[in-house]
Amino acid sequence: METFESLVRAEFAPKNTFLNTASNGLLPARTVAALDRAVRMRAEGIPLGPLYEDVETVRASVARLAGVPVGRVAAGASVAEFGALIAAALPAGAEVLIAEADFASLVNPFHMRGDLKVRSVPLERLAESVRAETALVAVSAVQSADGRLADLAALRGAARARGARLYVDASQSIGWLPIDPDDYDFLAAVGFKWLLGPHGVAFFVVPEDLGDLTPLLAGWVAGEVPWDSCYGPVEQLARSARRFDMSPALFTHAGLRASLGLIEELGVAAVHTHDVALADRFRAGLRDLGHEPVPAPGSAIVSVPGLGGHQPGLSTRGIEVSDRAGNLRAAFHLYNTPDDVDRLLAALSD
């Protein structure tokens, strides 16, 4: 029987200490092979029908991770385009509540409307700041800059009590942090970080009522019968969230299908335990060195104030982390080991 360790070892052989999944994840070997097969199909003139089947397999896998029926999942290219659909559906003057310094792809579509009231507060005060005039709360489940976790259960309760909806960006959480489908109305995420896929695909989960959204970006793939919707206006939009689909990045879906297969084989709960244990090991080691990370209990991302300037030197030593506004950001995922943590701590102690 294959173990967590043996499955991971069979898929990854990084040539450096890669602690930067919050920027982009490593591709498993099975994903590289799937991409190669897809490219060869295109190069050799083989019909691409199986690649369209990958889109639906990926949609079903994302639905399982999100804990929702597959009919609630749409596929596109970026979080920002889905946020724009939500922004377009809000009435003029509606209040959107966001966390200070949250990721631009999440918050910028609401600022671009120009006639919405976008109010930002510290992440820790988000739930208590929901008020009667709040129409939407938009927040990242895990903050990109420093790994802090939003209290989604508290936010959902506060939003429900005041008739607001909750929009969650799960780009920094899906794949390692279990998702409770009761904790959001809308959810979006990219596939190239913790899901270990190629760039080019994002997902959007909508409520059962489709969120009162207008599919402004709908093309032929948004039709109830896509291949019958290629010419002229689409006569019948899909009855499911597929009406919000964008034309699929077929190669990316082929690779992501393989990556999601690995995530589901390992299990998000096991990945969560593994990732957070490594992050906690790093936090403890930092304190031994006299450094205090940004408080983010339970997170796989660790941000250390004042150490961001070490990033270039660490990279030359084969240790990949990020510099975010002067903070060193390390992100721990399934292919990392305690040796990786200790290597980074040793480099920071020099």
The pLDDT tens digits for 288-315 are 999 999 999 999 999 999 999 999 999 9
Q: What is the pLDDT of residue 26?
A: 98
Using one digit for the tens of pLDDT, what is the confidence trace for 26-58? Answer: 999 999 999 999 999 999 999 999 999 999 999
- Tell me the H-state helices in the chain: 4-11, 29-44, 49-66, 79-89, 104-113, 152-161, 250-266, 268-288, 311-316, 338-349
At residue 206, the 3 state secondary structure works out as coil
pLDDT at 223 over 80: yes
DSSP characters for 226-266?
GGG-SSSS-SSB-SSGGGGPPPP-HHHHHHHHHHHHHHHHH
8 Å CB contact between 276 and 147: no
Average pLDDT over residues 220-224: 97
The mean pLDDT of 64-80, rounded to a whole number, is 98
Q: Answer whether residue 278 shows pLDDT above 90.
A: yes
Provide the 10 A C-beta neighbour count for residue 57: 16
pLDDT tops 90 at residue 156 = yes
For the stretch 75-128, pLDDT in tens is 999 999 999 999 999 999 999 999 999 999 999 999 999 999 999 999 999 999
What mean pLDDT value characterizes the chain?
Answer: 97
Tell me whether residue 7 is exposed, middle or buried, using C-beta atoms within 10 angstroms of its C-beta: 0 to 12, 13 to 18, 19 or more: middle
The whole-angstrom distance between residue 9's C-alpha and the CA centroid of its chain comes to: 24
Backbone angles phi, psi at 181, to 5 degrees: -65, -15
Under 8 Å CB-to-CB from 115, ≥6 apart: which residues? 92, 93
Distance CA 322, CA 287 (A): 20
Question: pLDDT confidence of 234, banded at 50, 70, 90?
Answer: very high
User: How confident is the model over 326-331, as a mean pLDDT?
Assistant: 97
How far apart, in Å, do the first and last CA atoms of the chain sit? 42
* Closest to 137 in 3D by CA, of 90, 177, 171: 90
Give CA angle at 126 (96, 286), nearest 5°: 130
Contact predicate 139/123, CB 8 Å:
yes
Q: Which two tokens stand for residue 137?
A: 């709360």
Give the pLDDT score at 325. Answer: 85
Average pLDDT over residues 249-263: 98
* Separation CA 239–CA 222 (nearest Å): 9
Q: Identify the pLDDT of residue 350.
A: 85
Instruction: Return the pLDDT at 32.
Output: 98
CA distance 162 to 229: 40
Question: Does the predicted TM-score (pTM) go above 0.85?
Answer: yes
- Amino acid in the structure at residue 34: A
Using pLDDT thresholds of 50, 70 and 90, give the confidence band for residue 2.
Answer: confident
Q: Which residues contact 198 (CB under 8 A, 6 or more apart)?
A: 27, 31, 35, 191, 192, 251, 252, 255, 256
Mean pLDDT of 135-164: 98
Predicted local distance difference test score (pLDDT) of residue 188: 98
C-alpha–C-alpha distance, residues 198 and 193, integer Å: 9
Give the pLDDT of residue 257: 98
Amino acid at site 12: F
In whole angstroms, give the CA distance from residue 63 to residue 174: 11
**Domains of the chain, first to last:** 4-26+267-349 (3.90.1150.10), 42-264 (3.40.640.10)
Residue 137 to residues 11, 75, 86, 185, Cα–Cα distance (Å): 38, 22, 11, 10
Q: At residue 1, does pLDDT exceed 80?
A: no
Residue owning tokens 């402004």:
216
User: DSSP class of residue 92?
Assistant: T
